[in-house]
């Protein structure tokens, strides 16, 4: 990845692009929503399809010259159907947030009611946060995880739904380490005659590989990001039954977007093809095994985990019981210095603020793409725990950085 054409035109950007590849090689990407796509996906995303206007859908475009755009989009759709088993798929949303927007716009009117998980408890901005359009156009009420267990209490959710009478219930989360019972949420939605949107942004890959329960065919709408565990490049996707196909398509284009990002859709097609290979199932299973190893080792080192552990690809540490004077931001910064890139995160019952929260979130999708097994992941857990114990100790950080260097040298990326 030398970016020679960019360099000829624009050395500053070329330096930044090369710098980013080196940053990814030399650090451990443990932001739970991130991953490393293959060079095949990168190439597809950097293709000449970026030039093509293809407003409309395969076979029904507003512009001439769409034969290859049609082929690529249809491949992406067909492969998504095979991966997740959906009746209808729209691969045009520019991101997971736009996918959610498409669903809301398809079935809600302004002022309709959304019931969703609170952001501090693991929800997402696009589920009704006041800073997002959803918090302004719709009436939003939020559910929370059980403060004692860290799990969603499905009985309580149902009671809350009966009281609030929402038009849509949103499930699927950004920082929830446990398996989601989509069937229970569907029952709550049906009990109050609400739609159910399952936003599987984080767990798309786990669901595709069958290592997490699937909401497809259960929830009315399933949305996702395509750059997280499914590893198909930046973008979004909507899945639903045929009965909602026309409404969803119209809500995405022309409802909320213009021309599709055909180069990104090419990336999705290639990434989905990779995910249909048997090796992807092993990848997804290893991602979960690694997260469990991470959680185990954290616990052994005296760290407290929200919900006590994990069923998926991420772990949420609540620093308050073990390190009451250390904040998530301090740990995030100290870990970045040693080459572990993760994020500070709010925890249920947050007592600090969203900007300087009490937790850190750590995910294994990126490490697993690099080939990490449980033993290597446990070593990373030790590095993190060492830094959590002494975020200001230069010797500890030097030792941690040396261990990260060894790991990034052994588990290579973009050779
Ligand atoms: C990541 C995420 C999204 C979408 O994010 P984009 O950045 O818009 O792709 C949506 N919902 C949840 C739950 C997420 O975690």
Cβ-proximal residues to 375 (8 Å cutoff; 6+ apart), any chain: 293
Mean pLDDT, residues 300-323 taken together: 98
Residues 49-92: pLDDT tens digits? Answer: 999 999 999 999 999 999 999 999 999 999 999 999 999 999 99
Q: How far is the CA of 24 from the centre of ligand 1 (A)?
A: 21
pLDDT score for 41? 98
225 lines ligand 1 (CB under 6 A): yes
- For residue 1, what pLDDT band results from cuts at 50, 70 and 90? confident
- At residue 332, does pLDDT exceed 90? yes
Q: How far is the CA of 310 from the centre of ligand 1 (A)?
A: 20
Q: Which ligand 1 atom sits nearest the alpha carbon of residue 123? A: 13
Q: In this structure, are residues 276 and 78 in contact, taking their beta carbons and an 8 Å threshold?
A: no
95 lines ligand 1 (CB under 6 A): yes
Mean pLDDT, residues 18-43 taken together: 98
CA 31 to chain centre: 9
124 lines ligand 1 (CB under 6 A): yes
Q: b/e for 392-402, b at 16 or more Cβ within 10 A? A: eeeebbeebbe
How far, in Å, CA of 8 to CA of 126, rounded?
Answer: 40
Residues 256-311: pLDDT tens digits? Answer: 999 999 999 999 999 999 999 999 999 999 999 999 999 999 999 999 999 999 99
173 lines ligand 1 (CB under 6 A): yes
Average of per-residue pLDDT values in the chain? 97
Choose which residue among 32, 116, 174 to substitute to test ligand 1 binding: the one with the highest number of ligand atoms within 8 A of its C-beta.
174
Q: Which ligand 1 atom sits nearest the alpha carbon of residue 100? A: 10
Mean pLDDT, residues 115-140 taken together: 96
Task: Give the predicted TM-score (pTM) of the model.
Answer: 0.97
Q: How far is the CA of 197 from the centre of ligand 1 (A)?
A: 13
172 lines ligand 1 (CB under 6 A): yes
pLDDT score for 192? 98
Choose which residue among 104, 124, 234, 238 to substitute to test ligand 1 binding: the one with the highest number of ligand atoms within 8 A of its C-beta.
124
% the chain with pLDDT above 70: 100
What values do phi and psi take at 270, rounded to 5?
-70, -45
Q: How far is the CA of 34 from the centre of ligand 1 (A)?
A: 11
- For residue 114, what pLDDT band results from cuts at 50, 70 and 90? very high
CA distances from 52 to 81, 91, 210 (A): 24, 16, 35
34 lines ligand 1 (CB under 6 A): no
Q: Which ligand 1 atom sits nearest the alpha carbon of residue 228? A: 1
Q: How far is the CA of 356 from the centre of ligand 1 (A)?
A: 21
- For residue 48, what pLDDT band results from cuts at 50, 70 and 90? very high
Q: How far is the CA of 114 from the centre of ligand 1 (A)?
A: 17
Residues 169-216: pLDDT tens digits? Answer: 999 999 999 999 999 999 999 999 999 999 999 999 999 999 999 999
- At residue 354, does pLDDT exceed 90? no
Q: How far is the CA of 235 from the centre of ligand 1 (A)?
A: 10
- Closest residue CA from atom 1 of ligand 1: 201
123 lines ligand 1 (CB under 6 A): no
Mean pLDDT, residues 311-327 taken together: 97
- For residue 403, what pLDDT band results from cuts at 50, 70 and 90? very high
Choose which residue among 31, 33, 122 to substitute to test ligand 1 binding: the one with the highest number of ligand atoms within 8 A of its C-beta.
33
253 lines ligand 1 (CB under 6 A): no
- For residue 2, what pLDDT band results from cuts at 50, 70 and 90? confident
């Amino acid at each position: 990845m030398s970016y020679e054409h960019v360099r000829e035109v624009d050395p500053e950007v070329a330096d930044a692009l090369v710098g980013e590849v080196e940053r990814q090689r030399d650090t451990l990407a443990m932001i739970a929503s991130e991953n490393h796509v293959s060079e095949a996906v990168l190439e597809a995303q950097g293709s000449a399809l970026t030039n093509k206007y293809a407003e409309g859908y395969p076979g029904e475009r507003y512009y001439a010259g769409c034969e290859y755009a049609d082929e690529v989009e249809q491949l992406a759709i067909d492969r998504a159907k095979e991966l997740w088993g959906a009746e209808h798929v729209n691969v045009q949303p520019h991101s997971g947030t736009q996918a959610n927007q498409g669903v809301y716009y398809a079935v809600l009117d302004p002022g309709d009611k959304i019931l969703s998980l609170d952001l501090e408890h693991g929800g997402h901005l696009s589920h009704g946060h006041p800073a997002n359009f959803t918090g302004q156009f719709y009436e939003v009420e939020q559910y929370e995880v059980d403060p004692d267990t860290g799990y969603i209490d499905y009985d309580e959710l149902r009671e809350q739904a009966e009281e609030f009478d929402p038009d849509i219930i949103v499930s699927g989360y950004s920082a929830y380490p446990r398996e989601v019972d989509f069937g229970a949420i569907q029952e709550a939605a049906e009990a109050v005659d609400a739609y159910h949107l399952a936003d599987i942004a984080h767990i798309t890959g786990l669901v595709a590989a069958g290592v997490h329960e699937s909401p497809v065919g259960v929830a009315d709408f399933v949305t996702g990001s395509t750059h997280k565990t499914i590893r198909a490049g930046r973008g979004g996707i909507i899945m639903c039954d045929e009965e909602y196909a026309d409404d969803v398509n119209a809500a995405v284009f022309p409802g909320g977007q213009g021309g599709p990002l055909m180069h990104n859709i090419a990336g999705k097609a290639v990434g989905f093809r990779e995910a249909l290979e048997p090796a992807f199932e092993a990848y997804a299973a290893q991602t979960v095994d690694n997260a469990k190893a991470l959680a185990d080792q954290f616990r052994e080192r005296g760290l407290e985990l929200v919900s006590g552990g994990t069923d998926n690809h991420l772990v949420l540490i609540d620093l308050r019981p073990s390190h009451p004077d250390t904040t998530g931001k301090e740990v995030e910064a100290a870990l970045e210095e040693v080459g572990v890139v993760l994020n500070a995160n709010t925890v249920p019952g947050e007592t600090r603020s969203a900007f300087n929260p009490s937790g850190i979130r750590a995910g294994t999708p990126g490490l697993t793409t690099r080939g990490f097994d449980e033993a290597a992941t446990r070593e990373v857990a030790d590095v993190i725990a060492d830094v959590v114990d002494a975020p200001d100790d230069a010797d500890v950080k030097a030792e941690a950085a040396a261990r990260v260097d060894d790991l990034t040298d052994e588990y290579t990326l973009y050779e």
